[in-house]
Amino acid sequence: MDITVNILLTVATAATPLLIAAIGELVVERSGVLNLGVEGMMIMGAVGGFGAGYLTGSPWIGLLAAIAMGALFSLLFAIMTLSLATNQVATGLSLTLLGLGLSGMMGTNFVGQPGQRLPNLDIPGLTSIPVVGRLLFGQDPIFYISIALTAAVMWFLFKTRKGLTLRSIGDSHSSAHALGIQVIRYRYLSVVFGGACAGLAGGHLSLVYTPQWVENMTAGRGWIALALVVFASWRPWRVLAGAYIFGAVWIGQLHAQAFGIPVPSQMLSSLPYLATIVVLVLISRNKRLTMMNTPASLGQPFVPDR
Amino acid sequence: MMRLELVKRPQRSMLFSALSPFIAFVLTMIAGAIMFALLGVNPLNAFQIYFIEPISQVWQLHELAIKAAPLILIAVGLSVCYKANIWNIGAEGQFILGGIVGSIIPVLFPQFEGPLVLPLMLLLGMVGGAAYAAIPALLKTRFNTNEILTSLMLVYVAQLFLDWLVRGPWRDPKGFNFPQTIQFNESAILPELMPESGRANWGFVFALVAAVLIWILMSRMLKGFEVRVLGSSPRAGRFAGFGLNRMVFFAFLLSGALAGLAGISEVSGAIGQLQPVISPGYGFTAIIVAFLGRLNPLGIVAAGLVLALTYLGGEAVQSALGISDKVARVFQGMLLFFVLGCDTLIHYRIRLIGLAAPKLETAPKLEEAR
């Protein structure tokens, strides 16, 4: 029983950064913007979170710094694609490349240093309940944030007027503009929200998952988060399910390596990436379904004419 | 509070089309100077070490050519993809597969020597890169799968595959357990161009030839026209009878083959054996090269040399000033950012307006250019 609980806990820990980054990107894409810079914003959040935690000695300040770093970095993307109408694919790519370089440079002095870890929740009486206690009341704070965030985004997008407006912008920015909606303002806020989420996801990696700084420690998770949004056909609860499936794949291959299964470890390590491809194929082969769910103006630059 | 406003130009500005890479370069320099100052280094001194010293002697120009060759080879292939609006961003993986498949002969059949070895290796490298690029192309055409994500995921798979090969089945049995293959024999080594003055090898010639050939393809042949039509308007392309699926395969196979050629040239020229890591991110930097060169093969040659210099400069400041060589990646990222930003000037006029200012003038009515 204990082993099962432990495995479930590690799956949740692996799924949380994917979930947060993907939920953020989902909002961005629902507003019609494709930000391929998730990996870059995530790694910036990771280095910012680790650095602030290490320098101040407080993981909570690290957490805030991670969020701020991601948001700030995404602002760069917003200015480029929204105010200067640059190509979103190319700009997102350059955000990732810049983030990987910048984080490596900023983190030079952090390599090998001991980091700060966010403490797990510990409620006397509740956390010690057998089996469910640790699953429900004994996880790291970002886990709870991720669940709350998913619920909040679900509520915002589908139960509020502003959420409806945001979705309508993603489906047709020119109609939304004609109705007097501030397309660019909504998109700015969405992109920065997505950046804050990606930063938080990166902070989870360097403040909870492995509390240390390793170059390129995101290891493609930002890209997997992007794939998750497609896999989830832009629905928050499916992102949640997808993130946990991928968390399970990620943890499963680590356990398999630890058990010494006679398969090369590199092959096991490549499983999450191969699984991403397989999942994308399965979900995209139904062309009509994909077309129906994709925000219609996704990735197209918008320049308001007066 | 000020606000940016874009006003569409009636037609693209030739002036800014030519100027924008240079403006971007100047802006990168300014941002770089600020960065060096923040790091506590005199910017002028740093620039001297970063951009001037690495190319002040003849042997250093050879090193520049070695770094530029793979960048140019990959980027000219990618330019065809991007012109056709097809997003192959997995060139890094195709580069690695080219290196692996091209190394089959020298690693598994080291007794095989003679003048045939090298051409066969290069051919196999191209086949390897093209075959690996065929995967995202197939998935896109058959299953409508997003090629950006699949081609990128395959990069990680390729890196792990190479790692497994050189630590496992292909490891040099007499190599003291180092994760590397045997040293290639003499006939499997790409010859140097001018051994008396430096290390540059034939890879650089391949890059220049590829750039010229792709330039001819794109500007003088029907296929190039097809690429451009399908890229700017798939609908118009369909009416003209151009097949989008065929174009996806064409672009992926071409860019994959060139990335594969770059991979085997790097392995057999600059390295001489397979190692766990054979590329300092050439496949990704080449994306920057392609855009900086305006997706034009001849512009890409110039851009490749500039980006190669950022690699050399990064190494130089690391050893001279103790700054992380990641500074190269930062320069590359900033350069791409500024290029993309400056490209806006080609299609739009930028106007700064105060939020409070009354909007009296009406925009001229323009036909949608695209």
Subunit contact A80:B337, Cβ cutoff 8 A: yes
Cβ <8 Å between B145 and A277 = yes
Q: Tell me, what's the pLDDT at B57? A: 84
Task: Give the residue from B190, B203, B251 showing the smallest Cα distance to B72.
Answer: B203
> Residue A251: which of A7, A1, A23 has the closest Cα?
A7
Say how many C-beta atoms besides its own lie within 10 A of residue A211's C-beta: 19
Q: Tell me which chain A residues have a C-beta less than 8 angstroms from the C-beta of B8.
A: 303, 305
Residue numbers of A between 28 and 87 with CB closer than 8 Å to B: 36, 76, 80, 83-87
- The band of A288, judged by pLDDT with boundaries at 50, 70 and 90, is confident
Closest CA to B199 of B57, B312, B65, B70: B65
| Chain B interface includes A298 (CB < 8 A) | no
Please judge whether A264 and B288 are an interchain contact, meaning their C-beta atoms are less than 8 angstroms apart.
Answer: no
Q: What is the pLDDT of residues B87-124, one digit of tens each?
A: 999 999 999 999 999 999 999 998 888 889 999 999 99
- Say yes or no to pLDDT of A29 above 50: yes
- What percent of chain A is modeled with pLDDT above 90? 55
Digit-coded pLDDT (tens) for A30-77: 999 999 999 999 999 999 999 999 999 999 999 999 999 999 999 999
Is residue A46 a contact partner of residue A69, using CB atoms and an 8 Å limit?
no
Q: Which positions in chain A touch B157 (Cβ < 8 Å)?
A: 270, 273-274
Task: Tell which residue, A284, A38, A52, A16, has the closest CA to residue A146.
Answer: A16
Which CATH entry fits the domain spanning A2-293: 1.10.3470.10, 1.10.10.60, 3.30.450.40, 3.50.50.60? 1.10.3470.10
Chain B residues whose beta carbon lies within 8 Å of the beta carbon of residue A287:
144
Q: Tell me if ipTM is over 0.85.
A: yes
SS3 content of chain A, % helix, strand, coil (to 5): 75, 0, 25
- Say if A289 is an interface residue toward chain B (CB within 8 Å): no
In sequence order, the 6+-apart residues with CB closer than 8 A to the CB of B343 are A86, B20
Q: What is the pLDDT of residue B355?
A: 56
- Tell me the nearest-neighbour CA distance from A96 into chain B, angstroms: 8
Q: Where are the domains of chain B?
A: 61-294
Whether B157 contacts chain A with CB within 8 A: yes
pLDDT given at position B51: 87
Query: What are the residue boundaries of the structural domains of chain A, listed by start?
Result: 2-293
Q: Kindly identify which residue of chain A lies nearest to residue B368, measuring between CA atoms.
A: A305
List chain B residues with CB under 8 Å of A270. Answer: 156-157, 160-161
Range with lowest mean pLDDT among A168-177, A271-280, B258-267, B343-352: B343-352
The span from the CA of B363 to the CA of A305, in Å, is 8
pLDDT attached to residue B226: 85
pLDDT at A146 over 70: yes
Phi, psi of B6 (to 5 degrees): -100, 130
Q: Which residue of A has its CA nearest to B282?
A: A97
DSSP state of A33: -
Residue among B78, B85, B89, B337 nearest B211 (CA): B78
What does the pLDDT read at residue A16?
95
Span A92-104, average pLDDT: 92
- Asked if residue A243 has pLDDT above 90, the reply is yes
Distance CA B97, CA B155 (A): 9
Query: pLDDT band for position A264 (50/70/90)?
Result: confident
Q: CA–CA separation, A73 vs B24, rounded Å?
A: 20
Taking CA–CA distances from A185, the nearest residue in chain B reads B3
Across the interface, whether the CB atoms of A276 and B153 are under 8 A apart is answered yes
**Predicted pLDDT of residue B364:** 47
CA–CA separation, B192 and B230 (whole Å):
40
Contact B78, B255 (CB under 8 A): yes
pLDDT score recorded for residue A117: 86
Residue B196: how many CB atoms within 10 A of its CB?
6
Q: How far is B8 from chain A (nearest CA, A)?
A: 9
pLDDT digits (tens, 9 = 90+) for A184-219: 999 999 999 999 999 999 999 999 998 889 988 998
Q: Assess B341–A contact: CB distance below 8 Å, yes or no.
A: yes
CA dist A237 → A149, A156, B106, B369 (Å) = 11, 13, 52, 41
The count of residues in chain A is: 306
Using an 8 Å CB-CB cutoff, list chain A residues near B368: none
What length is written for chain B? 370
What type of residue sits at position B101? Answer: V
- Is B146's Cβ below 8 Å from some Cβ in A? yes
| Chain A (243-272) residues lying within 8 Å, Cβ to Cβ, of chain B | 264, 266-267, 269-270
Chain A closest CA to B168's CA: distance in Å? 9
Find the closest chain B residue to A223 by CA distance.
Answer: B149
**B76 vs B217: CA distance, rounded Å:** 11
Residue B299 CA to residue B75 CA, distance in Å, equals: 10
Partner residue facing A266 (CB), from B163, B334, B336? B163
| A120-153 b/e (C-beta count within 10 Å ≥ 16 → b) | ebeeeeebeeeeeebbebbbbbbbebbeebbeeb
Residues (pLDDT < 70) of chain B are: 1-3, 354-370
What is the pLDDT, as a whole number, of residue A306?
A: 55
Instruction: Provide, as residue numbers in chain A, all residues whose Cβ is less than 8 Å from the Cβ of B310.
Output: none
Residue A156: CB atoms within 10 Å: 16
Chain A residue at shortest CA distance from B288: A94
The pair of three-digit structure tokens given for residue B126, joined into one six-digit string? 């191209």
Residue A3 is which amino acid?
Answer: I
DSSP state of B354: E
Residue A278 predicted with pLDDT over 80: yes
C-beta of residue B146 within 8 angstroms of C-beta of residue B254:
no
Q: Measure in Å the smallest separation between the Cα of B39 and chain A Cα atoms.
A: 10
Q: Which residues contact B108 (CB under 8 A, 6 or more apart)?
A: none
Mean pLDDT, residues A104-124 taken together: 85
Of A97, A220, A264, the CB nearest to B288: A97
Q: Is the C-alpha dihedral spanning B162, B163, B169, B175 positive or negative?
A: positive
**H/E stretch holding B350:** strand B348-354
The confidence score (pLDDT) of residue A292 equals 78
**Token pair recorded at residue B174:** 């007499």
Determine the Cα–Cα distance for residues A28 and A166; give it in Å rounded to an integer: 9
> How close is the nearest chain A Cα to the Cα of B21, in Å?
15
Which sign, positive or negative, has the C-alpha torsion B113, B114, B118, B123?
Answer: negative
